[in-house]
Amino acid sequence: MDFTLKIWRQKDAASRGRFVTYHLEGISPDCSFLEMLDILNDQLVQKGEDPVAFDHDCREGICGACSLYINGRPHGPDDAITTCQLHMRRFRDGDTIVVEPWRAKAFPVIKDLIVDRSAFDKIIQAGGYISVNTGGVPDANTIPIQKEHADIAMDAAACIGCGACVAACKNASAMLFVSAKVSHLSMLPQGKIEAARRVKAMLEEMDRLGFGNCSNTGACEAECPKQISLSHIARLNREYFKAILG
């Protein structure tokens, strides 16, 4: 398969970026999107050119590092996958593919397709944890938890923090990410002690870092590779109002 790639190239956060066009031939349809970029970089290195910088790690859809905006969609044209799980058979022979980094004030470009997502880490540091001294690790069955609550907590914990929700939102909101972390802990007995302080601290940090307000369009859920539900945002709002009114 042959492709024309229009890739965003930017030296650093202070430099002006631009799209650069590349042509690739003979790409296997079974090749993953990141493997295709590896092939491109091999060719660029052989020509003495600077390879395209892009982020990745596990390549198994777990870490969320492979955050690319492909043809106008976070992680590309497939649903419920990360970029590393996208294969070139999803495109047509001869297609032009536009690749760019996440676009958000809170995610400044480091180089080319890599953005600084440490803003998510700062939100977690503000309150996305349990600091209560609970002693040794108890057996799983010693703390009774309703199955419904456990299922909701597990679904929320599936969030990998890739930032697709921010990239998809026209306001660059981090509400889906924050709500997943708040839901994960607020549904469990261990997280209830610090629930009020947690939700206020995380939302305040989110606002301080420059993320926008929830747009209520549902783009975040539609593009989330782990299909985190919008219902978590509703729970986040309830937890926040309980915290400020209680």
Residues 96 and 135 in one domain: no
Q: What is the pLDDT along the chain (246 residues), one digit of tens a residue?
A: 999 999 999 999 899 999 999 999 999 999 999 999 999 999 999 999 999 999 999 999 999 999 999 999 999 999 999 999 999 999 999 999 999 999 999 999 999 999 999 999 999 999 999 887 766 777 767 778 899 999 999 999 999 999 999 999 999 999 999 999 999 999 998 899 899 999 999 999 999 999 999 999 999 999 999 999 999 999 999 999 999 997
Number of domains making up the chain? 2
Residues 57 and 80 in one domain: yes
Which domain CATH number covers 208? 1.10.1060.10
Residues 60 and 156 in one domain: no
Domain extent for 209: 117-245
pTM: 0.93
Cα–Cα dist 87/99, whole Å: 14
Cα–Cα dist 242/213, whole Å: 19
Residue after which a domain boundary falls, among 62, 95, 111: 111
Residues 107 and 135 in one domain: no
Q: 231-245 and 195-208 helices cross at what angle (nearest 10)?
A: 110
Which domain CATH number covers 56? 3.10.20.30
